[in-house]
Amino acid sequence: MIENEQKLIEEAVEGGREAFGALYDFYHTRIYRYVFVKVSRKEEAEDLTHQVFLSAWQSIRRYKHQGYPFSGWLYEIARNKVIDFYRSHKTELSIDLVGEHLTDEGSAVTALAGMMERDAVIAAVRNLKPLYQDVILLRFVDDLSLKETAKIVGKSEGAIKVIQHRAIQDLKNTLRTEEA
Amino acid sequence: MKEIEHLRNIKPDEAYMLRSKRSILREEPLPHFTLRDIIGSHMVGIASTAFVVLGMIVVGGWVFQAKAPITAGADPALLTAEANEVDIQIKLLALTYKSDSFSPLVIKKVLENASSSPLLDRATSSAATEPETTPPASPSEGSSATSTAASSTILSADEILDNLSK
């Protein structure tokens, strides 16, 4: 969580652009990552992430702190945007271009190896059910708690534990199959 | 989980981030209206509407009262007494029937019924001194005789209708 987040949120709710800008800077990458794994194309991920923050800014005055971090609200918006995206497009997107949008450091060979590994992981994650994808991303990529994840996906904490366990099993099976 | 952690290296393009941020912050956040805001901003309108509705109810009630029936304040007992004092008498001076409407048998029966009614008794008793009418010689004459007898008898309209219905 960002420092002075509550104060920034209060200022943003009052229409403070700088405060919302700070929140944008802090959360943008996470939301982009979540969306990117879901849609696998840079342009669409950028467009959807932009829409997420635009919606958040436009409806910031309606935001009410309910004991969950601000990111939970953003993830909820992002999740709905992705669902709307797939409803309107209904196309299977390729992940061919995934590698070129991943940042890495080190030599080109290491970067390429890393990209290929990430491509495989993204492909494996995208093979999961949408709910499993959400839980994996929120819990292990964005480090959200069980409670926060449960709030975002609209399930109980117990259900999240079960889903998480099954999602990991499915992911392992997929990765093993790909390696073989 | 190591594989999943690789996903953390996914990062957006810096130029896109900046462009998107500027674009978003150029927009104005949409106003959020609560019920209190709506009521507060339309207080004058709501109050004036309520005033007009109240006025319509009051004026409507007054008009309704003004159009109340004239007997609203009258004494029912007095009205009944007045009504009883009114003398209403209906006198049938002439009563004729179409000759082909009734058979002689029916006409005879009507006359018999009429003769048994108290009113007819009263009327016939007063006319007892008059000479007897000659019985009808033919069915066609019967109808004229009927009309003669009826015309000399004072009957109430209800009684006549009763007799006819019998």
In order along its 180 residues, chain A shows pLDDT tens digits of: 677 888 889 899 888 899 999 999 999 999 999 999 888 788 999 999 999 999 999 988 888 877 778 888 999 899 999 989 988 876 554 444 444 444 444 445 555 556 666 777 888 888 888 899 989 888 888 888 898 889 888 889 999 999 999 998 988 888 888 666
- The secondary structure of B18-57, three-state, reads HHHHHHHHHCCCCCCCCHHHHHHHCHHHHHHHHHHHHHHH
Q: Can you give the pLDDT at residue B119?
A: 54
Q: Which of B6, B8, B29 comes nearest A60 by C-beta?
A: B29
The ranges of chain B with pLDDT < 70 are: 1-2, 32-34, 67-72, 97-104, 117-154
Tell me the C-alpha distance between A119 and A127, whole Å.
12
Q: Can you give the pLDDT at residue B21?
A: 92
| Cβ contact, residue pair B12, A54, below 8 Å | no
Mutate to test the interface with B, among A52, A61, A173 (most CBs of B within 10 A): A61
Q: Is the dihedral of CA B8, B13, B18, B22 positive or negative?
A: negative
CB A135 within 8 A of CB A164: yes
| Span between the terminal Cα atoms of chain A, in Å | 40
| Cβ contact, residue pair A33, B8, below 8 Å | yes
Smallest Cα distance from A140 to chain B, Å: 7
CB A134 within 8 A of CB A153: yes
| Cβ contact, residue pair B24, A28, below 8 Å | no
CB A48 within 8 A of CB A85: yes
Is residue A131 classed exposed, middle or buried when 0-12, 13-18 and 19+ CB atoms within 10 A define those classes? middle
Using a CB–CB cutoff of 8 Å, tell me whether B133 touches chain A: no
| Cβ contact, residue pair B25, A58, below 8 Å | no
Tell me the C-alpha distance between A176 and B1, whole Å.
13
Q: Can you give the pLDDT at residue A163?
A: 93
Q: Which of A46, A60, A61 comes nearest B16 by C-beta?
A: A46
Question: Each residue of B99-126: pLDDT tens digit?
Answer: 555 566 777 777 777 777 655 555 455 4
| Span between the terminal Cα atoms of chain B, in Å | 110
